[in-house]
Structure 1
Amino acid sequence: MPPEAVEHFVFVDFENVPSVDLSLVATQSVHVTLLVGKTQRKLDTALVGRMLQLGKDKVALIEMGASGRNALDFTLAFYLGQSALRHPAAHYYIVSKDKDFDPLISHLYIQEVMVTRVASFDALPFLARSKKPATPVGKPAPDKRTKLIARLQHPENPARPSTRKALLAHIKTALGKESTDAKVAETLRELQEKNVLAIDTKDVVSYVPTPRYKS
């Protein structure tokens, strides 16, 4: 069983994404669950060695006892749900190219469980944050999230949403073509983590003043 302080839980659909480099998470606050199909008889020796090195507090291997359509998907959903009950504040990730997981992610999002699906193990978003950024050439253009944060931080902006429902719709519009339920949820989490805003138990949104705008 993973320790209570784990920040990220990753569930890998190993049938769909059989390439996993566990060295990427060796220093991260993360627990990885590899779900292996019944017909997958062999594991790469380097992967097995890394699993043994990291230990059961970091990695778990679950082998399917039966084969069948969506057998692994249902099993993954079961273990993710169990983990979410024990660690409701953690961030969850499904590593799979299978878009059939997206309705599950949308449902969990409604239950305020933050889940993101990525198509490869090295695409996990917390890995990107841990890497040293390359020296930029010139000043990069602000992305849509940066612009959204700037607008929400401005106290004279009359269009700032006052409820959770309105805020989610606002984020979805701001992200444009990039918008998915998972990205909207991730953006909302980022706004809260960056102390841009807070949402109370009645879903009322309040905005945290920034030094630039404080009177």
Structure 2
Amino acid sequence: MRKTIYVDFENVPNIEIREMSDTRILIFIGQSQKRLSTNIVKAIQPLGKNVEWIQINGSGKNALDFHIAYYLAMHKAQPDTEHYIISKDAGFDPLIVHANGLGQKVRRVVSFADVFEKIGLGKELEGKYKKVKEILMKQQKTRRPKSRKTLSSFIETTFQKKISTAETNKLIENLFRDGLLEEKSKRISYLD
């Protein structure tokens, strides 16, 4: 089955792209985004015509999100295609439910890896994940970490610094995957 991937580059600027067959990638960048990492350009360049850069017109709250919604609607008549929105913004979820109800195959994921493989935590990290989730959900919303940096520090402190940076990042990504967090303008909000 073919895949179309819509990348919310404002929300997920550190994308790890790899060569994929039968895949079209649309990368949405904000009007004020003027710089791109050389590493990202080098990774994307070999994909040639399978990648399209879409710089949005105008600025404002959710402007980029509306552009993604428009392009998703344009591709509605492709029954043999799965659509993936790469974003940590849970605001897409009602649109995705609606599109799936109309027969379109759409999912929101937080990374390219999620499009092609199920990321497992393993036994040891699964226990840590449950503990982090439990502690966060018991805390008052106003006392929870509000940025990735403070969330990382919170997790490291919870495990008395006996957790690697890679493991911490994996736990955070799973909080996004499970729909417990969303990130907008580098601020985290909790969806419970």
Shorter-normalised TM range: 0.5 to 0.7
Q: Does 1:78 align with 2:73?
A: no
Q: Is the radius of gyration larger for structure 1 or structure 2?
A: 1
Structure 2 unaligned blocks of 5 or more: 120-176, 180-192
Q: Which residue of 1 aligns with 2:117?
A: 128
- Tell me if structure 2 keeps the 8 A contact 1:13–1:96: yes
Q: Which residue of 2 aligns with 1:45?
A: 38
CA drift at 1:53: 1.5
- Pick from 9, 15, 18 the counterpart of residue 14 of structure 1: 9
Give the aligned residue type for 1:117.
R
Give the aligned residue type for 1:65.
N
Give the aligned residue type for 1:128.
E
Secondary structure, counterpart of 1:55 in structure 2: helix
Q: Measure the CA separation in 1 of the matches of 2:20 and 2:85.
A: 20
Q: Measure the CA separation in 1 of the matches of 2:85 and 2:2.
A: 15
Higher RCO (C-alpha under 8 Å, 6+ residues apart): 2
TM-score normalised by structure 1 residue count: 0.53
- Pick from 86, 101, 118 the counterpart of residue 110 of structure 1: 101
CA drift at 1:47: 1.5
Q: Percent identity among equivalent residues?
A: 36
Structure 1 unaligned blocks of 5 or more: 1-5, 132-177, 181-215
Q: Which residue of 2 aligns with 1:27?
A: 20
CA drift at 1:179: 9.8
Secondary structure, counterpart of 1:60 in structure 2: strand
The structure where strand makes up a greater share of residues is 2
CA drift at 1:83: 1.7
Distance 1:110 1:44, change over 3 A: same
Q: Measure the CA separation in 1 of the matches of 2:41 and 2:90.
A: 28
- Pick from 44, 60, 68 the counterpart of residue 68 of structure 1: 60
Q: How many residues align?
A: 125
Q: Measure the CA separation in 2 of the matches of 1:84 and 1:19.
A: 28
After TM superposition, the runs of 4+ consecutive aligned structure 1 residues lying more than 3 A away are none
Secondary structure, counterpart of 1:102 in structure 2: helix
Give the aligned residue type for 2:93.
D
Q: How large is the RMSD of aligned CA atoms in angstroms?
A: 2.7
- Tell me if structure 2 keeps the 8 A contact 1:19–1:121: no
